[in-house]
Amino acid sequence: MAYRVPRHPRVEHRTRHQNRLAGLTALVLLWVLVLIMALVADRSIARQHLPWKPLSVVDPVGMATRIKAARAGSDPVICRAILRKAGLTYADLPEKTDGGFCVVRDALRIDSGMAPLSPTDAPMVCKEALALSIWERQVVQPAAYEVLGQGVVSMEHYGTYSCRRMYGKAEGPVSEHASADAIDLAGFKLADGQTVYVARDWNDPGPKGQFLHRVRDGACRVFLTTLSPDYNAQHHDHFHLDMAGWNKCA
């Protein structure tokens, strides 16, 4: 007959109680440590790096900018409040349904507060407009002054809204342009009248090419998707920038 260890109910009860108490103590200590770390971070780390801090267009691009822009942009009220606080003016646009699969909601057109888009007819959902305004102010303009010695006075594009599938195919995934959640940036006009074009200057080893690579790299820290000539031949002449789907930088 197998030997059975004698049971001691009082000892077992006390052991279970001690184990629960130890687990609870460890959990409390862990949360205290997390709270202390959060307080230290809150006071010593710039807010553009902290995801719980409010987003501001005037802040430099940080580690949390992209996630905060995506989160704030999903709320039309918060998104517009951030744009207004940054000094941007805009016109709200009506909801649009077209082609059976193209639906545009929460769209607006930026009227002032950043380098104007050319052509000016550029409807965008608010989160795309928010990301674009951050990129223009915190990436494009600083890069233009530092690399080219002057500012950007307008940005040329191939379109924002277009009711189509990706790459214009008859079938397949719907393009982000179908919901006005993307822009195809083709070039930049400088204060002295010079232009910088993706198609012409991407492979330029001089300042214009350096500027284009710098603003592409900066876009990757603001937009959820950034596609450039490095991605494929279809993007040889523009940057595709959108705030949907999964993070991609190429």
Tokens 């267009």 appear where? 57
Q: What residues form DSSP beta bridges with 238? A: none
Amino acid at 147: V
* Nearest CA among 215, 243, 248, 246 for reference residue 232: 248
Cβ-contact 140, 212 below 8 angstroms: no
CA atoms within 13 A on the CB side of 155: 26
Inform me whether the pLDDT recorded for 141 exceeds 90. yes
pTM score: 0.82
- C-alpha separations of 64 from 154, 155, 174 in Å: 27, 26, 28
**pLDDT tens digits for range 169-224:** 878 888 999 999 999 999 999 999 999 999 999 999 999 999 999 999 999 999 99
Q: Is residue 227 part of a domain?
A: yes
Query: H or E segment at 38?
Result: helix 9-44
Residues 39 and 105 in one domain: no
pLDDT-based confidence at residue 226 (cuts at 50, 70, 90): very high
The Cα–Cα gap between 32 and 37 comes to 9
Q: Is residue 67 part of a domain?
A: no
Q: Which CATH number fits the domain that encloses residue 178? A: 3.30.1380
pLDDT score, position 247? 83
Q: Is residue 211 part of a domain?
A: yes
Q: What residues form DSSP beta bridges with 157? A: 185
The count of other CB atoms within 10 Å of the CB of residue 116 is: 15
| Cα first-last separation, the chain | 72
Residues 38 and 131 in one domain: no
Q: Is residue 4 part of a domain?
A: no
Q: What residues form DSSP beta bridges with 174? A: 165
Top pLDDT among 42 and 245 is at 245
Residues 37 and 98 in one domain: no
**pLDDT tens digits for range 42-63:** 555 888 888 889 999 999 999 9
How many distinct structural domains can be found in the chain? Answer: 2
The Cα–Cα gap between 8 and 234 comes to 76
Residues 114 and 222 in one domain: yes
* Nearest CA among 86, 85, 103 for reference residue 94: 103
Structure tokens at 121: 């007819």
Angle, CA of 135, 56 and 177, to the nearest 5°: 45
Residues 136 and 231 in one domain: yes
Task: Provide the residue range defining the domain that includes 35.
Answer: 16-44
Name the region of 188 (left: φ>0; alpha: ψ -120 to 50; beta: rest): beta
The rounded mean pLDDT for the chain is 88
Q: Locate all alpha helices (DSSP H) within the chain, ordered by sequence.
A: 9-44, 65-73, 76-85, 126-135, 141-143, 198-201, 207-219
Residues 140 and 28 in one domain: no
Beta strands across the sheet bearing 89-92: 89-92, 107-112, 124-125
Residues 99 and 158 in one domain: yes
Structure tokens at 94: 């009506």
